[in-house]
Structure 1
């Protein structure tokens, strides 16, 4: 199952009043596991950035001036999203802006039922408790110290962790269900493999631990099982 955790940054609150998207960030999940594929794009809103928006996002007119307009990135964005479920915090806000932008450039709009609203999930799961992204990070012990300014890709990465906690911290099934069902979609899932990690994980065993292990093996002598012919 493919899901896209998505966030947008905008110049304001209402596209019908002239506000536009200035940044889109998205993270791909497969069966609730991050694949390493992301989508990130800054966008020229073709209007001035209000001071209050600049203070929140840190994106000024000079920075955005040479970025592509939405019409130039719409097809790439739709290709990345495809028909995957869109995991969004306060989905009504982002979907409203995305569909306004898509409509202005004569592209198909995203169905509302394609979105999964983590804000709604959090409010139902923890009624009466704060449900902002920062509040949920505190609840689940997720480090968001680098979130000094709102950024779409960083917020998507953080939201992916929050989403997995909200749905119970589901772990991958290691392909044990791959043989169930039939048809092209099942076959595609069975053939899927996680993407190669861009940077190898650092070793967790220390030189001191390696030396202690070697010393222990020496105490077992020549009659150790692995020394027998």
Structure 2
């Protein structure tokens, strides 16, 4: 597991995003899509992986309006637990990035003792490094940094709120800021409050 004193340029990174079914009052939300962009270092090209995830309840209309995933699209999707080997191989031993990753951390708690992290929050990182934006949504941050065209080029035909698209966007935000601020030779702790356990 990476530590605060480890040099950023020597670390593995993985960015993750989930899309969910949405939750009616009193229900627990469930993931319906996962996307991970992982690499051996920030200078390497990320390996991209995504999967739909089976759910035992219908995708809410309101959630489908955000990400475009319908219950019918999940008909042949694997159950979440079946994806564990793929998730572990991509996130294990990496700094795990996400944009306000509370949902990602919540869904990964279904695998107790996984030990992923430390976590790097691109929302906090964006606020630290790019002050004055009108908002800090992932799309606004990527547009401000000029990385949106790179996400489009690597994932043509996908868009915001696709789990793989959002994961890749988070990865590219981290890579861009580390390069621009010349942080690859610095310890991970230099990212301060953006890094958590």
TM-score range, shorter chain: 0.7 to 0.9
CA distance in 2, matches of 1:86, 1:131: 19
Ranges in structure 2 where 5+ consecutive residues have no aligned partner: 1-10, 186-197
Ranges in structure 1 where 5+ consecutive residues have no aligned partner: 178-229
Identify which range, 121-130 or 77-86, moves more after superposition: 121-130
* Bigger Rg over Cα: 1
- Show the 5 A alignment for 1:127-166: 127-129=131-133, 130-142=135-147, 143=149, 148-166=159-177
CA distance in 1, matches of 2:61, 2:96: 30
Pairwise CA RMSD: 2.7
TM-score normalised per structure 1: 0.64
Contact kept, 8 Å, 1:25 with 1:153, in 2: the verdict is: yes
Q: Deviations over 1:29-88 (max 9, x none)?
A: 233123342221110122110001111111111110221111211233112221211011
Structure 1 runs of 4+ aligned residues shifted over 3 Å read 144-149, 168-171
Higher relative contact order (CA 8 A, sep 6+): 2
CA distance in 1, matches of 2:125, 2:21: 27
Partner-residue secondary structure (3-state), 1:121: helix
Q: Deviations over 1:74-109 (max 9, x none)?
A: 23311222121101111222112221x32xxxx424
- Show the 5 A alignment for 1:92-131: 92-99=102-109, 101-102=110-111, 107-111=112-116, 113-129=117-133, 130-131=135-136
Q: Deviations over 1:9-37 (max 9, x none)?
A: 112379x8311111111111233123342
Distance 1:89 1:135, change over 3 A: same
Distance 1:76 1:29, change over 3 A: closer
TM-score normalised per structure 2: 0.73
Size of the aligned set, in residue pairs, is 167
